Chains A and B, each alone.
Chain A
Amino acid sequence: MTKKSLEPFLWTLFSAGGVLAALLIPIHLLLFGLAVPLGWAYPSYEHLLVLLRHPVTRVYLVLLCTLALFHGAHRFRYTLYDGLQIKHLNEVINVLCYGGAIVGSVLTVYLLWRIP
């Protein structure tokens, strides 16, 4: 192959992110999106901060967030492409989807880099 396509690499990110998203996002959303605001569960601030300070949690969150972003970006790119039949905007879509995922990933790493 002369021109190296990025597609296999992006698909790997998509798949890895898909697995993590399937395994972990439902419980995360259930806990912090529903249980906590509705008062079903009360994880204390101190407890959560201790958790967040732990390096394993931070690695875990970085992996979960970045891979989930690339998973979502890949999938959404194809949804736009097929669902709306706007493949002439292919370049713009690519930049928006993967660009968004890259920005989000940088932000995630930056947020989790230092924790007071």
Chain B
Amino acid sequence: MSDTITLHVARYRPEVETEPTFQEYQTPCRKDWVVLDALNYIKDKVDGTLSYRWSCRMGICGSCGMTVNGEPKLTCATFLTDYAPGPVRVEPLRNFPIVRDLVIEMSDFMRKLVQVKPWIIRADEKPLSEGEYLQTPEELDEYKQFSMCINCMLCYAACPVYGLEPHFIGPAAIALAQRYNLDSRDQGARERMDLLSDHTGIWGCTFVGECTKACPKSVDPAAAIQRYKLKAALSWFKSFLLPRGAS
């Protein structure tokens, strides 16, 4: 196919403009092209000033997330032909400050990731000589889904709660916390509890469910949050019944 397609790409050049604008580009619309290919074509052949992030172009690095026709998408996994005859609107991810063109500022997310302590916490480390911590396939299944996250932040862009309340820890970070809480080798659930069971943690979530729909890796962060609510509720009742025990 030698068809072409029109792209409306959001531009923001802070040195010359105070607000984002749209610029129109024509690119080939080939059957095997994704939106990212079209952006690369523009950058190489048409307009070298366009800025955006990408790296792996295979849905692994999580850096090419943008808003395509209003939906948060990995542009390396979103085919142009799905939007034919166009035009296709490409904007930066919502809910984040824009640095330039399609590049968003993500240090808020990075900070939240660290806050949930996404690593294995042990109360008692066993000596190296005793070997590794073994895990059965069932135990792996328990958290595997939540470990597939590529930190693309599409879920943050889809989440209205995060848009309204920037303090909200947000879908991916809570799902990642659950990934470690549910790991049979981890003993850090209590350390993560205070941060997570706060109104900026799980209780800020109203189960809109958009994070799960946006996620390209089927992580289902909404489920992680709901299950954590259930657990927090159970432990609340437990601590009520046995105020001193189980702490």
Contact = CB atoms under 8 A, between A and B. Distances in A.
Touching chains A and B, CB distance < 8 Å: yes
Interface of A: 1, 5, 7-9, 11-12, 15, 78, 82, 85, 87
Given A1-B194, A7-B197, A8-B236, A82 B203 contact: no
A82 B205 CA distance: 10
B123 interface: no
Interface string B174-216: 0000000000000000000110011100010010000000000
Nearest to A82: B164
Contacts of B237: 8-9, 12
Contacts, number: 34
B232 interface: yes
B206 A82 contact: yes
Contacts of B206: 78, 82
A11 B197 contact: no
Contact of A8 (B161, B165, B233): B233
A11 B164 contact: no
A82 B233 contact: no
28 contacts: A1-B193, A1-B194, A1-B197, A5-B197, A5-B198, A5-B199, A5-B203, A7-B199, A7-B203, A8-B197, A8-B229, A8-B233, A8-B235, A8-B237, A9-B233, A9-B237, A11-B203, A11-B233, A12-B233, A12-B236, A12-B237, A15-B233, A78-B206, A82-B160, A82-B161, A82-B164, A82-B206, A85-B164
A60 B203 CA distance: 29
A87 B160 CA distance: 15
B243 to A, nearest CB: 10
A78 B164 CA distance: 12
Contacts of A87: 165
A7 B164 CA distance: 20
Nearest to B190: A1
| The 9 A-B residue pairs with the shortest CB-CB distance in the complex, in nearest-first order | A8-B236, A8-B233, A7-B203, A12-B233, A78-B206, A8-B232, A82-B164, A11-B233, A11-B229
B240 to A, nearest CB: 8
Contacts of B160: 82
Contacts of B235: 8
Contacts of B232: 8
Contacts of B197: 1, 5, 7-8
Contacts of A9: 233, 236-237
A8 B236 CA distance: 6
A19 to B, nearest CB: 13
Contacts of B164: 82, 85
A87 B164 CA distance: 10
Contacts of A7: 197, 199, 203
